[in-house]
Structure 1
Amino acid sequence: MGLIGSAIGAVGSIFGGISASKAMKKAKQNVQQQIQKNQDWYDRRYNEDATQRADAQRILTMTEESIKNRNRQAAGTQAVMGGTEESTAAAKAANNQALADATAQIAVNGEQRKDQIEQQYLQRDADLQNQLQQLEIGKANAISGAVQGVTQAASNMPF
């Protein structure tokens, strides 16, 4: 291999190393953006108020409507049948307990949802961190390959 061939080999190795380094840098930026998006998603979803979600609001609204209907029925029964104030109060207390139970169930479901969100976030974060690690290994290998190419090209140069 002549001087020109060795110089071309060295330049090729340097160029290849630079190209690989640029590609790795772009890939790393992409993974870092994904990490930020994952963090934003986690922060938004984990901190949601479970009682304000549409499904929870629907359950609460349906429970409240059911309670109102039962309270009206209890009051109507008392007026027509001559029930006692105690029976109406007991019905209202039972209805209030139903609302408390629905709210408690929403809170339990909210905690389970948070656990699922956290598990999904941690798995995704581990995957992304692994991608970053692989990129760093690839970058080190590209640099090592470029250095070896330059060294090999230099050793082939006739002095």
Structure 2
Amino acid sequence: MGIIGSAIGGSLGIGASIFGGVSASKAMKKVKQNLEGRVKENQSWYDRRYNEDATQRADAQRILTLTNENIRQRNQNAAGAQAVMGGTDESVAAAKAANNQALAEAASQIAAAGERRKDQIEAQYRETNAELNDKLMNLEQAKAQNVAQAVQGVAQAGSNMASVI
């Protein structure tokens, strides 16, 4: 093959090393952009879900609506019983107070459930965020390894060329 053939082979080795490094770098850049996009999506999900008003959720609204309907019916029954049986205003007031207490307890339970939900959302966010950050860190480490391998490949091809010449 001779000196010229070896020199051409060595320069092809250098070119292949550089091309491989550039290709790997482009692929890693796409992966990094994808991971960074997922980090932003996770943050948006967290911001949206964590700051939701627990009392405005459909399940909470249903509980409040049912509680209010039951209270309204009991208040009407108490007022009707007072009119028919001659009950006192105090008994109607006591029934209304008990009903208001029931509404307050329902709201309190909704708030407690909302806090538990927030804790779950935060835990899920932190877990996903840590996983994505680990992947980004691993990607950076792989990128550093690829650069080192490309440099080593170029140096080895240059060394081979030098020994031929």
Q: Matched residues in 2 for 1:153 and 1:31: separation?
A: 35
Q: Following superposition of structure 1 onto structure 2, how do residues 31-110 of structure 1 map, counting pairs within 5 Å?
A: 31-110=35-114
Aligned residues with identical type, % of pairs: 64
Q: Matched residues in 1 for 2:66 and 2:9: separation?
A: 81
Structure 2-normalised TM-score?
0.95
Matched length = 159
Name the SS of the counterpart of 2:96 in structure 1.
helix
Residue of structure 2 equivalent to 1:113: 117
Q: Matched residues in 1 for 2:8 and 2:98: separation?
A: 94
Question: RCO higher in 1 or 2 (8 Å CA, sep ≥ 6)?
Answer: 1
Residue of structure 2 equivalent to 1:29: 33
Q: Matched residues in 1 for 2:138 and 2:77: separation?
A: 68
Q: Matched residues in 2 for 1:142 and 1:19: separation?
A: 10
Unaligned ranges ≥5, structure 1: none
Residue of structure 2 equivalent to 1:12: 16
Q: Matched residues in 2 for 1:22 and 1:101: separation?
A: 58
Q: Matched residues in 2 for 1:154 and 1:49: separation?
A: 65
* TM-superposed deviation, 1:43: 0.2
Alignment of 1:138 onto 2:137: no
- Runs of 4+ aligned residues of structure 1 deviating over 2 Å after TM superposition are none
Residue of structure 2 equivalent to 1:152: 156
Unaligned ranges ≥5, structure 2: none
